[in-house]
Structure 1
Amino acid sequence: MSNLEVKSVVSKNAKLRMTVILLVVVGLYIYTSWATKSTPMDIIKGWGGFQRILTDLFPPNWSYVPAVWEKLVETIQMALIATTFAAIVSVPIFLLSASNLFPNSWIYQPVRFIMNVLRTIPDILLAIIFVGIFGVGVFPGIMALFIFSLGLLAKLMYETIEAIDMNPLDAIRASGGNTIQVIWYAVIPQVLPQFVSFSLYVFEVNVRASTVLGFVGAGGIGLLLQQQINWFNYPRVMTIIIIIFIAVVVIDLISNKIRERIV
């Protein structure tokens, strides 16, 4: 068989494989739509309800802004405290989780396992648990965000460390440097920009997450939003939504500018 014929057979096999994969994917979507009784027609059917909600939400109640601002500041403070402490505590954890720093599986595997367990617990479930322990307020929200941020930062950073250039590490080890010296002179200079960038990203995530945590009594602007929804005070609800949107956009812009300068 000539090379041209071999290429033709390979091309046909590749096309057949792609066609089968595409049919399987389309079939899965069709089955999922049937199983969940969800179709694009539901969007059209729900348009009337969407218009009714918009009518209830507008115009916003701008006189409610001072009360919302106070809770927004509280939400940002929750996210800032949780992110700061999580960033500090995560440093020894992600260092111990990196297999290229501590090749012994008895060291990095248990640490990774604990962090994986923490990441599997939804932040809102953590908030419910801490509200049950400490009562309604800001502290349960901070604790929930702290645990959530710790697991996320640890995973992002140990994966970053395992992808760094190993030549500086090997050079320091070859010259007699210990593990602390390897970390300080070879690892930290390579991963510090990513660490700051990931910490800023986690802070952004925590600001959004803290809004939801308020629905279970974990403080912040979410608690205020839940109250107004329960009271069917939709103009105030719209005011809160607009302020949250503006705050998140501003935080994203500032964070992106900082990350651009660091990375």
Structure 2
Amino acid sequence: MTTTLTRAPEALPVPRDPRAPYRAGSWAVIVAVLVLLHLMAFSATEFSPGKLVTGAQGMTNFLAEAIPPDLSPDVVRAGIDGAMTTLWIGLLGTTISVPFALLLAVLGARTTSPNAVVYQVARGILSFFRAVPDIVFALIFVTAVGLGPFAGVLALIAHNTGVMGKLWSEAMEDVDPGPEQALRTAGASRWQVVANATIPTVLPQLTGLLLYRFDVNVRSSLVLGLVGAGGIGLLINKAIKTFQFDEMLTYLIIILVVIVAVDLASAWIRKRLQ
């Protein structure tokens, strides 16, 4: 019986990637540019960890004056009232912006916009509302309607319309085209397709984004209070200016509890929507 021996195939050399040197050079340039940008940023912002070390004594004195927090009934009651006002600002700033954001999202999504002109106009409006920070809107509305939470609500409505409209329009562009095509084939109009196919399909995603924006807006309403737009931020600003740091710490603890509660409630709702 004759046994035939087969030779193992010789390993072929792995061909060199001709683009490897180019890729290495590109990464080297990217790293060099990033390092240069960071050096420029450190210089422009006067970034100095040494200043933080030398200022440790000031921070220690600040904490010594803030701890323990002032838990007197008047301060706690004022903090709770301010925190609830902050919560209401975030709530109204989110919900009242829904119809405006939804309309601009429909007009600003490629799959639902009537034509290119309307699409570009809607995207431009969304970009403007999104580009202007809510605190700038607050300063504008404070000069228009005066100090108070109403200016904060208007500021959040304007800014949230831009942000939420952009997020919603992108969600509509990523929707499964099957139901939309079926309705178009059946002779449905553009708005019938949007109302009966597009929005119902992405409704859970839109709701999740809405809850996320509510979380963000409650935090933003705290900052808006620092410029006179009402809420607990106004109390924090007043406490800092009058060097009542123990009151400031009380207000921070109260708003922390509110924000944690909002986070937990939003997470619970999002979980039920999945």
Q: Same fold (TM over 0.5)?
A: yes
How far 1:103 sits from its partner (Å)?
5.1
Give the equivalent residue in structure 1 for 2:33: 24
* Residue 169 (structure 2) pairs with residue 123 (structure 1): no
How far 1:5 sits from its partner (Å)?
4.0
Deviation larger for 20-29 or 155-164: 20-29
Give distance in 2, aligned partners of 1:31 and 1:139: 41
Larger-Rg structure: 2
Instruction: Please give the per-residue CA displacement for 1:52-88, whole angstroms capped at 9, x wherever unaligned.
Output: 2211211101112111001111111111112111113
Tell me the TM-score normalized by structure 1: 0.93
How far 1:160 sits from its partner (Å)?
0.7
The DSSP-based 3-state class of the residue aligned with 1:101 is coil
Give distance in 2, aligned partners of 1:37 and 1:217: 29
Give the equivalent residue in structure 2 for 1:77: 88
Give distance in 2, aligned partners of 1:130 and 1:77: 17
Give the equivalent residue in structure 1 for 2:9: none
Gaps of 5+ in 1: none
* Residue 117 (structure 2) pairs with residue 106 (structure 1): yes
Give the equivalent residue in structure 2 for 1:172: 183
How far 1:3 sits from its partner (Å)?
7.5
* Residue 246 (structure 2) pairs with residue 235 (structure 1): yes
Change (3 A) 1:248 1:184: same
Structure 1: which amino acid aligns with 2:69? Answer: P
* Residue 34 (structure 2) pairs with residue 33 (structure 1): no
Structure 2: which amino acid aligns with 1:197? Answer: G
The DSSP-based 3-state class of the residue aligned with 1:102 is coil
How far 1:182 sits from its partner (Å)?
0.9
Paired residues, number: 261
Give the equivalent residue in structure 2 for 1:52: 61
The DSSP-based 3-state class of the residue aligned with 1:188 is helix
Change (3 A) 1:121 1:48: same
Give distance in 2, aligned partners of 1:47 and 1:104: 59
Instruction: Please give the per-residue CA displacement for 1:134-191, whole angstroms capped at 9, x wherever unaligned.
Output: 1111211111111111111111100110111112211211121111221122101221
From the two aligned structures, give the one with the greater helix fraction: 1
Give distance in 1, aligned partners of 2:242 and 2:106: 49
Give the equivalent residue in structure 2 for 1:182: 193
Structure 1: which amino acid aligns with 2:32? Answer: L
Give the equivalent residue in structure 2 for 1:157: 168
Choose the corresponding residue for 2:270, options 245, 259, 262: 259
Choose the corresponding residue for 1:137, options 129, 142, 148: 148
Q: Is 2:107–2:114's contact at 8 Å kept on the other side of the alignment?
A: no
Instruction: Please give the per-residue CA displacement for 1:194-253, whole angstroms capped at 9, x wherever unaligned.
Output: 111111111111111111111221111111111111111010001011111121122112
The DSSP-based 3-state class of the residue aligned with 2:251 is helix
Gaps of 5+ in 2: 1-11
Structure 1: which amino acid aligns with 2:164? Answer: L
The percentage of counterpart residues that share the same residue type is 36
Change (3 A) 1:35 1:121: closer
Question: Which consecutive aligned stretches of 4+ in structure 1 deviate over 6 angstroms post-superposition?
Answer: none
Structure 1: which amino acid aligns with 2:28? Answer: T
The DSSP-based 3-state class of the residue aligned with 1:6 is coil
Instruction: Please give the per-residue CA displacement for 1:65-114, whole angstroms capped at 9, x wherever unaligned.
Output: 11100111111111111211111332222111111112511111111111
* Residue 100 (structure 2) pairs with residue 89 (structure 1): yes
